[in-house]
Structure 1
Amino acid sequence: MLPSVHHPRYKALRTHLKALRKGAGLTQVQLAERLSVDQSYLSKIERGERYMDVLFYLEWCRACEVAPDQAVTKLVDAGA
């Protein structure tokens, strides 16, 4: 069973995703364009209103020009 989007680990993931985006100097609109999705979709993920699967996580990392394995290491080190 998946944890709630309000679970502390999922909250850490959302914080991590937002930090990746901002670290790349991207707005939600710019990242959405790179991922070929609506900005509102990214906003819902960042606010915890929508789940994201691992494949989309990989694409998010690549769109932010971050190696997915390095991003996962940072996420784990942060306690998620």
Structure 2
Amino acid sequence: MSPSEQNQKLVRFLQQELNIPAESIALVQRHPELPYSSFPMLLWRYGLISITQLDKIFDWLDHSLSRSAKHF
């Protein structure tokens, strides 16, 4: 899975499962120079998600990335 596809899936997860507003996501996406892995931490650092939500995102990423690795 390409980074772009992974990013799209993450954004869908954030919006559909965690109800993160599109405006919050857009704020973090204004930093394209940062690595993809920084995305959840920036949401938390800016106060846009709780620590519980951050933990759920990391769980989702871990599960998502491990599924992708099995396809190789």
Structure 2 length normalisation: TM-score? 0.48
Higher relative contact order (CA 8 A, sep 6+): 1
Structure 1 length normalisation: TM-score? 0.45
